[in-house]
Structure 1
Amino acid sequence: METTVIKGVLLSFLAYAAYAFSDASIKLLEGTLPPLEVVFIGALLGIVAIPLVRRPGENWGDLFRARNWTLWLLRALFAVVGSLSSVVAFTALPMAEAFALIFLLPAFVTILSVVFLREQVGWRRWSAVVAGFVGVLIVLRPGFRELSVGHLGAIIGGFSGAMTIILLRAMGPTEKRISLYGAGLIGPILASGVLMMPHAQWPTPHQWIFLLGYGLLAAAGNVLLMLASARAPASLVAPPQYSQMVWAIGFGYLVFGDHLDALMFLGTGVIMLAGLFTFVRERQRGTPRAERTPPIHPQ
């Protein structure tokens, strides 16, 4: 393997580590701030990555330009929904459990690509979709354990990430990258900025530490992933995403005191294997990979 490609893979691991630390920062806030305020501040901090994301020939005004405003607004909307639901999920659930449900994203992408992009999906990818949802049932065990708003938030987060990928696939050939990136920031900034006003509170210095970790580490992850993609093919850059589960389990045991049982590990493994299989099949079919949207999971 060429040195440049190896550097790209290592950068992708660093990117997903940054995302995992960003998500841990959300949990360290312990729900002491309204989720909308967390989303607002995180999106504001995401602005720092724009100079590094911007391609030659793109300018700051392109943040507010789009050829297809309907899809651009949908992109902004799902950035809001995805950011908010992910904050709720990581606040309410053990990190590994939240990741396991968000990792349903590839299954949602398969379903949505059939509905909206009219892609042809064979039995192998449909089998991976079914396996992914079986994994979710193992994780959730409905009827045998209490479910919370965090579980709903994680699933909605995965669905929102999948919708974002579908929108990026549709918009990618015609829109500038800075415009697509901007929609993922402008939507959360405007929507959460307005909606948070009745309950907004000025963060304490302690809370600012974790807010800065959330927003700046997510921005760093975006930049690192962009650098990785410039050095290595998507088939090598994307799979390290699942290394976030290792970070999540480590954070859970060492920082948050989480204890996952055997069924949780089994369900998580099924979901991850189904997602990796779906990705491999899409690579074989030549399906383009969308970039991760800031500062949420796509997962």
Structure 2
Amino acid sequence: MSAPAIEVHQLTKSFGATTALDHFDLVVQPGEVTGFLGPNGAGKTTTIRILLGLIRADGGTARVLGKDPWQDAVELHPRLAYVPGDVALWPSLTGGETLDLLARMHGRVDTARRDRLVERFELDPAKKVRAYSTGNRQKVALVAALSTDAELFLLDEPTAGLDPLMEAAFRDEVAALRTRGVTVLLSSHILGEVERLCDTVTIIRDGRAVEAGNLAELRHLTRSTVTLRTRCDLRRPGGLACLAAVPGIHDLSVDGDLVTFEADAEHIRDLVSALTWLDITDITWERASLEDLFLRHYTTVGGTAPR
């Protein structure tokens, strides 16, 4: 098996009294699209800046494409593409001039692909950057990055400011990167975006990794919600005995002929067997989502997730 494209172990970084990373671990395999989830301030951008060699970690180790991002930054940068969530460009240049400048700086650009991307993202390259909206500045960064032949893409909230149509175009381009076998680390708090695009996910909280794995593995850690209607008289003694006896059933409730509960994934077979005893007229089975997992880690005592 080839070495990881990104391998971070026990990474620490503080800014004064603020701990941004607290013994953080992250592994991204070659050819994977990995989602990097967490709210603002969780440590995502700090991690990416360390991987780019822009800041130095206080402790731990980081390897990017087999290299030290701090010691080998000059060698690594032509092999990387980076899109930040808040793009700052040269206001006096046009979009086309900016793309040309960024291409010369990177050195590994497919100009035919760049022309296609300019059209796909509906970017006017003749307009001055100072006249661009936030979304159009983001498009410049995306076109510049996606037109390169980089081996690793580091995308930090890359769809900030884009409208839904352009977000869809971005998803198509990331899918194309996966098809080409390119590695992507996608930092985002848009759960649907990550769920559509990513092979694996790492969730960070307070500078520490709290969950990591592929989506199928992570969904085993959450529960499905089941809602059904039955003709059985659930008010009679033992009316719900077949369900109550199933391990992994939680928050079972009855309202007339309506039954709702949550079910652990590892006990689904037992549950399906038990349901055959009920005269069911309707059933809805809502699979646990990445949002469920995310909120489980970020819900506060008061019951709301931080923004």
Q: Please identify the structure whose Cα radius of gyration is greater.
A: 2
TM-score (norm 2): 0.26
The structure whose RCO (Cα within 8 Å, separation 6+) is larger is 1
TM-score (norm 1): 0.26
Please identify which structure carries the higher helix content. Answer: 1
Please identify which structure carries the higher strand content. Answer: 2
